[in-house]
Amino acid sequence: MKILRTVNTALRALRRNPMRAFLTTLGIVIGVGAVIAMMEIGEGSSAVLKKQIASLGANNLIVLPGAAASTGVSFGGGTSTTLTPQDCVAIIRDCPAIRAGAPIVRVRGQVVYGNKNWVPNTISGTTPEFLNVRDWTELTDGEMFGDRDVANANRVCVVGQTIVRELFGGISPVKARAQIRIQNVAFTVVGVLSSKGANMMGMDQDDVILAPWTTVKFRMSGTAASATAASAASASSDTSSAVNSLSDLYPSKSVALYPTPSAIQAADTPVPVRFTNVDQVLVAARSAPEIPTAIDQMTDLLRERHRINLAMGEVDDFNIRDMTEMTKMLSSTTTLMTNLLLGVALISLIVGGVGIMNIMLVSVTERTREIGLRMAVGARSRDIMRQFLVEAVVLCLVGGALGIALGVGGSILVTALLHWPVQTSPTAIILAVVVSAAVGILFGFYPAWRASRLDPIEALRYE
Amino acid sequence: MALIELIDLYKTYYIGDIDVPVLKGITLTIEHGELVALMGASGSGKSTLMNILGCLDRPTSGQYWLDGEEASGLTGDQRAMVRNRKIGFVFQSFNLLARTSALENVMMPLSYTAVHLSDREARDRAQKALTLVGLSDREHHHPSQLSGGQQQRVAIARALINDPPLLFADEPTGNLDSHTSEEVLQMFEKLNREKGITIILVTHDAGIAQHARRIIHIKDGLIEGPGQAVPAPAGAAGAGGKR
């Protein structure tokens, strides 16, 4: 009630000199406007920056099979064959913190096209999801092989820019439906990846060939793989047997030791089918802060799937690696951006506040007679103090409101004209309102105190 | 009981190490319903006395009884309350708030003490005060749209809004021509006669002082003579100087 009346008085006093009130509050308007625009533009750029760093693979996690051991002799990391493509499917399905995942089967070998040959850094068998995991969905030509190609173990592949340069002389091989031979298996090139450059270790990421993992696993990889392929084939898959007979230019199959069992015999003695294994599973967490959650979820899931009982003294048969270095860079970049914006915001608001204080001091001097009169008719010093303080706060809040409009309008304009990424930031708006009220109290206090200390006799006589 | 009683009042200003005595032992009684003129040359201590009487300043020593209350020892906030309730001020230069309607100017003192009043009650009171000074048709005019005499009447209405028993007029006609001066002075006489408000006119103009029923002369910080004997209304004995 009383404060309402004071606010009313303050508004009336401000209305008596609207031009000056406007100019006074201009500092706050611009300050708050700048803060909001900066925050929105900054948050937009920060989001883009985060995405770009994420595309470097900062959110990626690698699941590797553990070490196999025999009679106390460890064979080193990645030697156990317990990680399956089904694990990958289960991870994508059951771990909410995982955005995408793809199994990877690696081979190494010579690639031949026409009279040229090249040994790529990486030949990976994977699924189309791989590009999604690596934030690498742009292709310069053609398209990624599909899930169907994976299911059918089709001999198709996509190649990186370095391969295009080395094997095809820089001319895209997609239109010509060029066939390359990898370890004597012919692949049709269906797509060319966009350039990704070197990774943080200086490894050329464009020196890559991607093919369906089934093709790599069943048609190319070493003997262990062909053994599993054979067992899988003997179990059921007629595709893979067909595939094998087609792909093996020089059949290396061992002679069957036993006669082929009849259907009834097979049904009577079910052979446990061991799923084929993959070399690693590459997954992407939804965001950098969710990486620890993602690791926990995957660990639990894989222990359950692989029936690892820690209480019984069994150890994990898998390892999960994250990109700690990149994650650190990501978070430090974000902190840097935020601090930078905060600093700019603080400076502009202080400047605005000093402007308010300046004009309020002038206003107190100019209205000395009014203050004297108010004191003469019975205003106590705290009434005067409150009046000027409320005036300053009202000015700041009005300025803050105008500033919010200006800032939001400005950032919309920036998006429209410059196509900069912008993200609305409710935090910035709340912050701006709170800070402008605080600025009003802080910088309005001294002038108000000065006004309240005036001697009514002097004030009335003031010319 | 007298409205104002001053007993041996001193006021000394300290400028650096030098003591400047301004009031040197003033004893004075003003009854309810008097119309008094306070006269004196500049430098006589007239303004200082008015400031103390108006509770804007406090005496160095001596007693000041206002309406049965010792006012010389009050704190700043207490004096503000006394000013609001018991004293109305009219100034030479009107001191109206610019770009504010006459009605709002009159209502202004209410915002400090009469918080219990609703907006409507405050408005009614201000309208009544304006009607009293004959400006009921000008309540939405701004000071710049009013003549000097009208502005001074708005100031009088403002001084009357809290129904004070005491009204100070500090050179109320100093900025007015002789015709409007006469109007304003008649207004004071009317208020004094009809509402019984005690009015103290502070002036250096003997012609204006003639409107008062009693004239107090100040010279060099002392009251000169017993105060001019002027027929006073019943109950208000013109006993200046000594009690």
Q: Kind of pairing, strands B61-66 and B69-70?
A: antiparallel
Give the pLDDT score at A273: 56
Q: Do A5 and B97 touch (CB under 8 A)?
A: no
Give the pLDDT score at B100: 87
Give the pLDDT score at A113: 92
Q: B112: domain range? A: 33-48+76-220
Give the pLDDT score at A432: 80
CA distance A401 to A404: 5
User: pLDDT-based confidence at A1, cuts 50/70/90?
Assistant: low
- Chain B residues in contact with A452 (beta carbon < 8 A): none
Does pLDDT of A132 surpass 70?
yes
The minimum CA-CA distance between A377 and chain B, rounded to whole Å, is: 5
Give the pLDDT score at A235: 43
Q: Do A375 and B80 touch (CB under 8 A)?
A: yes
Give chain B's end-to-end CA distance (angstroms, integer). Answer: 12
Give the pLDDT score at A313: 80
Give the pLDDT score at B240: 41
Give the pLDDT score at B169: 92
Residues of chain A above pLDDT 70, percent: 90
User: pLDDT-based confidence at A252, cuts 50/70/90?
Assistant: low
Give the pLDDT score at A83: 87
Give the pLDDT score at A20: 83
Give me the residue from A1, A5, A378 closest to B80, CB to CB. Answer: A378
Whether residue B97 lies within 8 A of chain A, CB to CB, comes out as yes
Q: Do A380 and B112 touch (CB under 8 A)?
A: yes
The minimum CA-CA distance between B92 and chain A, rounded to whole Å, is: 11
Give me the DSSP letters along A26-42: HHHHHHHHHHHHHHHHH
Does pLDDT of B243 surpass 50?
no
Q: Which two tokens stand for residue B101?
A: 């309607």
Give the pLDDT score at B242: 39
Give the pLDDT score at A275: 61
Whether residue B46 lies within 8 A of chain A, CB to CB, comes out as no
Give me the residue from B56, B76, B77 closest to A457, CB to CB. Answer: B56
Residue of higher predicted confidence among B180 and A324: B180
* Rounded (10°) angle between helices A368-376 and B76-86: 70
Give the pLDDT score at B174: 86
Give the pLDDT score at A225: 43
Give the pLDDT score at A283: 93
Q: Do B80 and A374 touch (CB under 8 A)?
A: no
* pTM of the predicted model over 0.80: no
Give the pLDDT score at A256: 65
Give the pLDDT score at A274: 53
Give the pLDDT score at A226: 43
Q: What is the average per-residue pLDDT within B100-114?
A: 86
The backbone torsions φ and ψ at residue A94, rounded to the nearest 5 degrees and listed phi first, read: -105, -10
Give the pLDDT score at A270: 67
Residue of higher predicted confidence among A334 and B242: A334
State which H helix or E strand residue A107 sits in.
strand A98-107
The backbone torsions φ and ψ at residue B145, rounded to the nearest 5 degrees and listed phi first, read: -95, 5
User: pLDDT-based confidence at A260, cuts 50/70/90?
Assistant: confident
Give me the residue from A16, A372, A460 closest to B100, CB to CB. Answer: A16
Q: Which CATH number belongs to the domain containing residue B140 in this structure?
A: 3.40.50.300
Beta-carbon contacts of B16 under 8 Å, excluding residues fewer than 6 positions away, are none
Q: Do A378 and B111 touch (CB under 8 A)?
A: no
Span A44-58, pLDDT tens digits: 777 777 777 777 777
Give me the residue from B83, B85, B95 closest to A369, CB to CB. Answer: B95
Span A350-364, pLDDT tens digits: 888 888 888 888 888
- Chain A residues in contact with B77 (beta carbon < 8 A): 380-382
Strand partners, A186: A181
Q: Which of A394, A324, A405, A315 is nearest to A360 (CA)?
A: A394
Q: How many CA atoms lie within 13 Å of B118's alpha carbon, on the beta-carbon side?
A: 2
Eight-class DSSP state of A410: H
- Chain B residues in contact with A370 (beta carbon < 8 A): 95, 97
Does pLDDT of A301 surpass 90?
yes
Counting other chains too, the contacts that B183-189 makes at CB distance below 8 Å and 24 or more residues apart are: B183/B149, B184/B149, B184/B152, B184/B153, B184/B156, B185/B211, B187/B133, B187/B153, B187/B156, B188/B35, B188/B156, B189/B35
Low-confidence winner among A180-194, B135-149, B213-227 (lowest mean pLDDT): B213-227
Q: Ramachandran region of residue A142, left (φ > 0), alpha (ψ -120 to 50) or beta?
A: left
Give me the residue from A377, A380, A457 closest to B77, CB to CB. Answer: A380
Q: How far lies B89's CA from each of A270, A281, A370, B182, in Å?
A: 113, 90, 14, 19
Does pLDDT of B234 surpass 50?
no
Eight-class DSSP state of A311: G
Does pLDDT of A243 surpass 70?
no
Nearest CA in chain A to B109: A377
Does pLDDT of B154 surpass 90?
yes
Q: Do A378 and B85 touch (CB under 8 A)?
A: yes
Residue of higher predicted confidence among B80 and A246: B80
Give the pLDDT score at A4: 79
Whether residue B99 lies within 8 A of chain A, CB to CB, comes out as yes
Question: What mean pLDDT, rounded, does chain A reach?
Answer: 82
Q: Do B108 and A16 touch (CB under 8 A)?
A: no
Whether residue B117 lies within 8 A of chain A, CB to CB, comes out as no
Q: Kind of pairing, strands A156-159 and A208-212?
A: antiparallel
Mutate to test the interface with B, among A1, A2, A380 (most CBs of B within 10 A): A380
State which H helix or E strand residue A224 sits in.
helix A223-235
Span A377-434, pLDDT tens digits: 888 888 899 988 998 888 888 888 998 899 888 888 888 888 777 777 787 788 888 8
Does pLDDT of A159 surpass 90?
yes
Give the pLDDT score at A5: 78
Span A16-41, pLDDT tens digits: 888 888 888 888 888 888 888 877 87
- Chain B residues in contact with A371 (beta carbon < 8 A): none
Residues of chain B above pLDDT 70, percent: 91
Span A278-290, pLDDT tens digits: 889 999 998 878 8
A329 CB-contact burial (10 Å; exposed 0-12 / middle 13-18 / buried 19+): middle
- Evaluate whether residue B108 is within a structural domain: yes
Q: Do B80 and A369 touch (CB under 8 A)?
A: no
Domain edges within chain A: 2-53+330-461, 60-250+272-322
Q: Kind of pairing, strands A69-70 and A122-126?
A: unpaired
Give the pLDDT score at A434: 85
- Evaluate whether residue B200 is within a structural domain: yes
Q: Kind of pairing, strands A280-285 and A60-65?
A: antiparallel
Nearest CA in chain A to B160: A377
Give the pLDDT score at A360: 85
Q: Which of A366, A361, A390, A396 is nearest to A25 (CA)?
A: A396
Give the pLDDT score at A104: 92
Residue of higher predicted confidence among B166 and A463: B166
The minimum CA-CA distance between B161 and chain A, rounded to whole Å, is: 10
Whether residue A94 lies within 8 A of chain B, CB to CB, comes out as no
A338 CB-contact burial (10 Å; exposed 0-12 / middle 13-18 / buried 19+): middle
- Chain B residues in contact with A6 (beta carbon < 8 A): 111
Q: What is the average per-residue pLDDT within B39-56?
A: 88
- Evaluate whether residue B93 is within a structural domain: yes
- Report yes or no: B151 and B96 within 8 Å, Cβ to Cβ: yes
Nearest CA in chain A to B54: A376
Q: Do A377 and B99 touch (CB under 8 A)?
A: no
The minimum CA-CA distance between B32 and chain A, rounded to whole Å, is: 21
Q: What is the average per-residue pLDDT within B39-44?
A: 86
Structural domain count, chain B: 1
Does pLDDT of B36 surpass 50?
yes
User: pLDDT-based confidence at B1, cuts 50/70/90?
Assistant: confident
Give the pLDDT score at A452: 92
